[in-house]
A and B are shown apart, each in its own frame.
Chain A
Amino acid sequence: MSLRDVRFILPVVVVLAAAVRIRFRLRRRSAGRPGAARAARTPRAPRQPRPRRLPGFGPFSSDVGLVAAREIRERLRGRIFRIGTVIMLAVVAGAIIIPVLTKSTPQPQRVGVVGSLAAPLHAVVVASAKTNGTTVQFVPEPDQKAANDAVRSGNIDLAIVNGQNIVVDKPIDANDSSGTAQLAMNLGVAAAVQAAHLTPAQSAALAGAKPLPVSSLQPGAAKKKVHPTSLIGVILIFVMLTQYNTWTLIGVMEEKASRVIEVLLAAVRPIQLLTGKVLGIGLVAFAQAFLIVAVALTLSAAVGSSLLHGTGPLVVVSTLVWLVLGYSFYCWVYAAAGSLAQRQDQVQSLAFPLSIPIIFGYIISLTAAASGSPSALIKVLAYLPPTAPFAMPVLVGFGAITWWEFLASVAISILGTIAVARLATSIYTRAILRTGRRVRIREVVSRTAG
Chain B
Amino acid sequence: MGLLELDGLTRRFGTLTALDDLSFSVPAGEVVGFLGPNGAGKTTAMRAVFGLTDLDAGVVKWNGDPVGPAERRRFGYMPEERGLYPAMLVGEQLEYLGRLHGMSATDAESATRTWLDRLGVLDRVGSKVDALSHGNQQRVQLAAALVHGPELLILDEPLAGLDPSGIDAIGGVLVEQARAGCCVLFSSHQLDQVEDLCESVTIIDHGRLVVTGKVDDLATSGSPRLVVRVEGDRDGSWARGLKGVAISEVDGGAARLVLDPTVDSQTVLEAAMAKGRVTEFVFERRRLSEVFREAVR
Residues of A participating in the B interface, judged by any CB pair closer than 8 Å: 27-28, 31-34, 36, 38-39, 41, 43-50, 52-53, 63, 66-67, 70, 73-74, 254-255, 258-269, 433, 450
Are B82 and A258 neighbours in the complex by a CB distance under 8 Å?
yes
Are A31 and B91 neighbours in the complex by a CB distance under 8 Å?
yes
Are B126 and A66 neighbours in the complex by a CB distance under 8 Å?
no
Q: How far is the CB of B157 from chain A (nearest CB, A)?
A: 12
CB contacts (< 8 Å) of B84 on chain A: these are 258, 260, 263
CB contacts (< 8 Å) of B81 on chain A: these are 258-259
Interchain CA distance A133-B186 in the complex, whole Å = 85
CB contacts (< 8 Å) of B50 on chain A: these are 262, 265-266
Closest to B50 in A: A266
CB contacts (< 8 Å) of B117 on chain A: these are 39, 41, 43
Q: How far is the CB of A214 from chain B (nearest CB, A)?
A: 68
Q: Which of B44-100 contact A (CB under 8 A)?
A: 47, 50-54, 69-70, 72-75, 77, 79, 81-89, 91-92, 96-97, 99-100
Interchain CA distance A38-B125 in the complex, whole Å = 13
Are B181 and A47 neighbours in the complex by a CB distance under 8 Å?
yes
Closest to B180 in A: A45
Are B77 and A50 neighbours in the complex by a CB distance under 8 Å?
no
Q: Which of A31, A38, A266, A433 meets B77, CB within 8 Å?
A: A266
Are A47 and B149 neighbours in the complex by a CB distance under 8 Å?
yes
Q: Which of A31, A45, A269 meets B125, CB within 8 Å?
A: A31
Given contact pairs A34-B123, A74-B87, A261-B83, enumerate 8 new A-B contacts (beta carbons under 8 Å): A38-B113, A43-B115, A47-B182, A49-B101, A50-B104, A265-B50, A266-B50, A433-B53
Are B113 and A264 neighbours in the complex by a CB distance under 8 Å?
no
Are B102 and A45 neighbours in the complex by a CB distance under 8 Å?
no
Closest to B109 in A: A38
CB contacts (< 8 Å) of B53 on chain A: these are 433
Are A52 and B70 neighbours in the complex by a CB distance under 8 Å?
yes
Residues of B participating in the A interface, judged by any CB pair closer than 8 Å: 47, 50-54, 69-70, 72-75, 77, 79, 81-89, 91-92, 96-97, 99-104, 107, 110-111, 113-115, 117-118, 122-123, 125-126, 144-146, 148-149, 151, 176-177, 180-182
Interchain CA distance A347-B107 in the complex, whole Å = 38
CB contacts (< 8 Å) of B69 on chain A: these are 269
CB contacts (< 8 Å) of B99 on chain A: these are 66
From known contacts A45-B180, A70-B96, infer whether A265 and B52 are also in contact, taking CB-CB under 8 Å.
Answer: yes
Q: How far is the CB of B150 from chain A (nearest CB, A)?
A: 8
Most chain B beta carbons < 10 A, residue from A28, A39, A262: A262
Q: Which of B83, B91, B125 meets A263, CB within 8 Å?
A: B83
Are B113 and A267 neighbours in the complex by a CB distance under 8 Å?
no
Interchain CA distance A49-B151 in the complex, whole Å = 9
Q: Which of A27, A38, A50, A63 meets B110, CB within 8 Å?
A: A38
Are B118 and A43 neighbours in the complex by a CB distance under 8 Å?
yes
Are B85 and A267 neighbours in the complex by a CB distance under 8 Å?
no
Are A32 and B126 neighbours in the complex by a CB distance under 8 Å?
yes
CB contacts (< 8 Å) of A63 on chain B: these are 100
Interchain CA distance A255-B82 in the complex, whole Å = 11
CB contacts (< 8 Å) of B87 on chain A: these are 74
CB contacts (< 8 Å) of B114 on chain A: these are 41, 43-44
CB contacts (< 8 Å) of A33 on chain B: these are 126
CB contacts (< 8 Å) of A41 on chain B: these are 110, 113-114, 117
Are A263 and B79 neighbours in the complex by a CB distance under 8 Å?
yes
CB contacts (< 8 Å) of B91 on chain A: these are 31
- 14 A–B contacts from the bound complex (CB under 8 Å): A28-B89, A31-B91, A39-B113, A45-B182, A47-B181, A52-B102, A63-B100, A67-B100, A73-B92, A258-B82, A258-B86, A260-B83, A264-B100, A267-B101
Closest to B177 in A: A45
Closest to A255 in B: B85
Interchain CA distance A34-B182 in the complex, whole Å = 30
Closest to A41 in B: B114
CB contacts (< 8 Å) of B102 on chain A: these are 49-50, 52-53
CB contacts (< 8 Å) of B100 on chain A: these are 63, 66-67, 264, 267-268
From known contacts A52-B73, A259-B79, A266-B75, infer whether A46 and B123 are also in contact, taking CB-CB under 8 Å.
Answer: no
Q: How far is the CB of A172 from chain B (nearest CB, A)?
A: 70
Closest to B147 in A: A46
CB contacts (< 8 Å) of B110 on chain A: these are 38, 41
Q: Which of A32, A45, A261, A266 meets B72, CB within 8 Å?
A: A266
Interchain CA distance A268-B146 in the complex, whole Å = 17
Interchain CA distance A265-B90 in the complex, whole Å = 19
Q: How far is the CB of A38 from chain B (nearest CB, A)?
A: 5
Are A263 and B97 neighbours in the complex by a CB distance under 8 Å?
yes
The 8 closest A-B pairs by CB, nearest first: A32-B126, A46-B149, A43-B118, A34-B123, A263-B83, A266-B50, A31-B126, A267-B100
Closest to B125 in A: A31
Interchain CA distance A52-B92 in the complex, whole Å = 22
Interchain CA distance A34-B123 in the complex, whole Å = 5
Are B126 and A28 neighbours in the complex by a CB distance under 8 Å?
yes
Closest to A48 in B: B149
Q: How far is the CB of A447 from chain B (nearest CB, A)?
A: 14
CB contacts (< 8 Å) of A53 on chain B: these are 102
From known contacts A49-B74, A49-B102, A266-B50, infer whether A260 and B113 are also in contact, taking CB-CB under 8 Å.
Answer: no
Closest to B119 in A: A43
CB contacts (< 8 Å) of A268 on chain B: these are 100
CB contacts (< 8 Å) of A450 on chain B: these are 54
